[in-house]
Amino acid sequence: MKSDRDRSVRLLWEPPAEPTRGPKAALSQSRVVEAAMKVADADGVDALTMRRVAETLGSTAMSLYRHVPGKSELLDLMVDAAWGETEHTPKGPWRDGLEFFARQMWAMYRAHPWMLQLTTSRRMPGPQAMTRQDAAFAVVSELGLAPEEIVAVVTAVSHFVDGVGRTMADRVKAERETGVSDEEWWSTTDSLWEHFTPDRLPMMTHIWNTGGFERQLDEFEFGLARVLDGLVAFVEAEERPAVRRSTCL
């Protein structure tokens, strides 16, 4: 609803002054957000409730609503607070800048994998997230690209980190729920490996038998380097074909 969006905008971009004295100082918007992030870091976003956050603060759920009106707004505040832990992309060579931006995102997701459990396409962005995005745009702007190309270049890097991050977050969630690590789970799936035969899966069987799956390259490091290599080719091309947003979903 529009009112919910407006409420998030005000909380994110026009935060109330933090009380410094008296009983009200014991509870504030920033303290509620900090406590909520600790809950989500420990047990995932599914475990996050206003009651659970209140218990963490030694308070009541009703007292939290004076600072954060609901869970949706709380999640918006938590996401922006997580972005606030990252550093702005410094000026300099564009590839170095984009790599720095990607590594900051990756560190944020590793610290707060619950962020990747959230639907992000319509989550209200806050000032911390937007200033980081702005700095990433700035480092690419020196290339003389069209505005839409600047957006596309930064988005390509962001989407890569989002993708590999979601795989990581899924593993964290599964291990938390089952108590079994990803490696342990796959190593005990003998009924599956029995079907990996040369006649049915010749290449997969070859890779398996030669240890290819045991010596996998780091998915973040390998993928980031290849994405940046591809962007170098795009930036340095004498003629860059125009690519427009598809009208098909």
pLDDT (tens digit per residue) in 46-81: 999 999 999 999 999 999 998 999 999 999 999 999
Tokens of 242: 């125009």
Rounded to 5 degrees, what are φ and ψ at 69? -70, -20
CB–CB of 105/97 below 8 Å?
A: no
| Residue 181 CB-half CA count within 13 A | 3
Calculate mean pLDDT across residues 192-206. 87
What pLDDT is stored for residue 48 in this prediction? 95
Closest by Cα among 149, 137, 133, 156 to 94: 137
Q: Is the pLDDT of residue 115 over 60?
A: yes
pTM strictly above 0.75: yes
**226 band by pLDDT with thresholds 50, 70 and 90:** very high
CB–CB of 76/129 below 8 Å?
A: no
- Measured N-to-C along each axis, helices 71-83 and 94-111 cross at an angle, to the nearest 10 degrees, of 130
Angstrom distance (rounded) from CA 135 to CA 70: 31
**DSSP state, residue 119:** -
**DSSP state, residue 69:** -
**24 band by pLDDT with thresholds 50, 70 and 90:** low
Angstrom distance (rounded) from CA 66 to CA 233: 52
Averaged pLDDT score across all residues of the chain: 89
Q: Is the pLDDT of residue 131 over 60?
A: yes
Angstrom distance (rounded) from CA 165 to CA 146: 29
